Amino acid sequence: NMTWTRYYDMESINSWLDDLVSSYSVVTAIVGGRSLEGRDIKGIKISHGSGRRAIVLEGGIHAREWISPTAVCYIIDQLLTSNDRETRAAAADYDWYIFPVTNPDGYIFSHQVNRMWRKNRRPIGSNYGVDLNRNWNNNWLVHGSSSNPARDDYAGLGPFSEPESRSLSSYLLTLQGKIDLYLSFHSFGHLLLLPFGNTTEPLANYQDAMNIGRRAMGALSVRYGTKYVTGNIAEAIYLATGGSIDWVKEHLQVPLVYCYELRDQGTYGFLLPENQILPNNEEVMDSVIELIHQAKRFG
Ligand code: 0X9
Ligand code: ZN
């Protein structure tokens, strides 16, 4: 069992997921694809029956952002064990497709070798790694991305050149038309980002997505007073293209798509102390419940 007082490595997360599959009849194992070094992108599906709309959670695409996988695992735990009425309804009313660590090679590398590793582990000459949140086939290499493999925002040799982003996107295509809500978890900055990363123009359902996001961040702030800013990627953080949420929004036509930048605001940054894991995860769960509330009215 997870305690939410420490960060877990890849092996612990994977065996926890395996345990859930054997312990809960509503949980099945899913594989979102395969990493460069040959690891499964392990996930679980939580389903209380057929014919439900889908919610997708994507964590750990950036290796060093350790609060992301634990937040996603906490949401899984709450969906399966909470006695709260709204949380139980959220679990039962949707098919949940959940991937805590979508960059397993990088996550392991950040635990074993370099805590500040961000990318996958693709060897390119004497360098390593493609930024998996610059490699999706949506305005690839247009903004906030590098063609230099030494850089942390290296976009790769082409759109979907990397097995992680390519295979995960293929998996997501099998859910096309079913997804009501897609959430990507990063750190840090206390932000809730919505598409797109190439322009500050209020595209798609910008106004609805902003209103819903702000309500959810209101719910997030209730427990500990943590304040998040909601905005599209380009206006709230910086121009950056080739990220997962832009591709999901554009190619899968998902009504509500967000990217969290979790705790904190830079005091500890990626090295968020373990005593902030539980409060971070609790407030995020509060906001996810509110998002679902809104998604239902919106749908
Ligand atoms: O730069 C990123 O990929 C994200 N920030 S982070 O510090 N976690 O690396 C922001 C992602 C915004 N989303 C897209 N650009 N699609
Ligand atoms: Zn990130």
The domain over range 10-289 is classified in CATH as 3.40.50.150: no
- Residue 208: φ, ψ to 5°: -65, -45
Query: Could you tell me the distance, in angstroms and rounded to a whole number, from the CA of residue 61 to the centre of ligand 2?
Result: 7
pLDDT class of 186 with cuts at 50, 70, 90: very high
Q: What is the ipTM of this complex?
A: 0.95
Q: Which two tokens stand for residue 282?
A: 């609790």
Residue 187 alpha carbon, nearest atom of ligand 1: 8
Q: Is 261 a catalytic residue?
A: yes
Q: Is the pLDDT of residue 271 over 80?
A: yes
Q: Is the pLDDT of residue 255 over 70?
A: yes
Q: How far apart are the first and last CA of the chain?
A: 35
Residue 65 alpha carbon, nearest atom of ligand 1: 8
Give per-residue pLDDT as tens, 207-228: 999 999 999 999 999 999 999 9
Report domain extents, the chain.
Answer: 10-289
CA atoms of 196 and 199, how far apart (whole Å): 6
For ligand 1, say whether the CB of 237 is within 6 Å of any of its atoms.
yes
Arithmetic mean of pLDDT, 12-36: 98
For ligand 1, say whether the CB of 233 is within 6 Å of any of its atoms.
yes
Residue to substitute in 102, 117, 133, 198 for testing ligand 1 pocket (most ligand atoms within 8 angstroms of CB): 133
With contact defined as beta carbons under 8 Å apart, do 292 and 78 qualify?
no
pLDDT at 270: 98
CA atoms of 131 and 136, how far apart (whole Å): 10
For ligand 1, say whether the CB of 61 is within 6 Å of any of its atoms.
no
Strands (E), the chain: 27-34, 40-46, 54-59, 95-99, 123-124, 127-128, 179-187, 191-194, 229-232, 256-262
pLDDT at 148: 98
3-state class of 18 per DSSP?
A: helix
Strand-by-strand arrangement of the 54-59 sheet: 27-34, 40-46, 95-99, 54-59, 179-187, 256-262, 191-194, 229-232
pLDDT at 297: 75
Q: How many helices (H) and strands (E) does the chain have?
A: 9, 10
Give per-residue pLDDT as tens, 46-93: 999 999 999 999 999 999 999 999 999 999 999 999 999 999 999 999
Arithmetic mean of pLDDT, 249-273: 97
Residue 131 alpha carbon, nearest atom of ligand 1: 3
Query: Could you tell me the distance, in angstroms and rounded to a whole number, from the CA of residue 187 to the centre of ligand 2?
Result: 6
Q: Which of 261, 274, 282, 290 is catalytic?
A: 261
CA atoms of 2 and 124, how far apart (whole Å): 37
Q: Which residue bears the tokens 């942390």? A: 152
Q: Is the pLDDT of residue 289 over 90?
A: yes
pLDDT class of 296 with cuts at 50, 70, 90: confident
pLDDT class of 299 with cuts at 50, 70, 90: low
Q: Is the pLDDT of residue 298 over 80?
A: no
Give per-residue pLDDT as tens, 135-151: 999 999 999 999 999 99
